[in-house]
Amino acid sequence: MSITIYHNSRCSKSNIALKELTQSGEPFEVVNYLEAVPSIEELKTILAKLNLKPIDIVRKTEKIYLEKFKGKELIDEEWIKALHENPILIQRPIIVKDDKAVIARNEEAIDGIIQI
C-alpha cells in the first residue's frame, strides 16, 4: 500500500490534506509537483486513477489558463501536455493510494482515500 500526495505548500487545501495525512499515521510520499513536475505518462496514470478527463483537473481561475487556454477546444492529449508544461494548472491536492486517487479538497475525500 502506498500513498502519494501531489502537494503545493502555498495552497491552504493542500496544507490541510497534508496535515490530515500526517495525523492518519499512514506512511506517504509528498511530491511538490510544481518542482517535480509529473511526466506526461504520470499524468495519464493519475487521471486514470481519478477516473477523470484532463480538463476536469484544470484550475480555470489561474492566470495562465485565462491568458492561454480559456475558450480553446483542446483534445485530451493537448490538455495533458498543457498540464505538464504548466503544472500550476493542476488541481490540488491530489492523493493517490494504490489504484485510486482523489482531488482532496475536502475532509470527506481525504478520509475516503485514506480508509480504502
Residue with cell 506517504: 28
The pLDDT tens digits of the residues spanning 37-75 come to 999 999 999 999 999 999 999 999 999 999 999 999 999
Catalytic residue IDs: 11
State the Cα–Cα distance between residues 59 and 36, nearest whole angstrom.
Answer: 18
pLDDT digits (tens, 9 = 90+) for 73-108: 999 999 999 999 999 999 999 999 999 999 999 989
- Asked, as a colleague might, if the bond just before 38 is cis with ω within 30 of 0, I would say no
Q: Give the pLDDT score at 79.
A: 98
What is the per-residue pLDDT for 115? Answer: 86
Helix-strand-coil split of the chain, %, nearest 5: 50, 15, 35
The pTM score is 0.94
The total of structural domains in the chain comes to 1
CATH assignment of the domain containing 53: 3.40.30.10
Domain enclosing residue 103, as ranges: 3-114
From residue 104, alpha-carbon distances to 21, 72, 81 in Å are 11, 27, 23
In the numeric block, the cell 513536475 is attached to 37
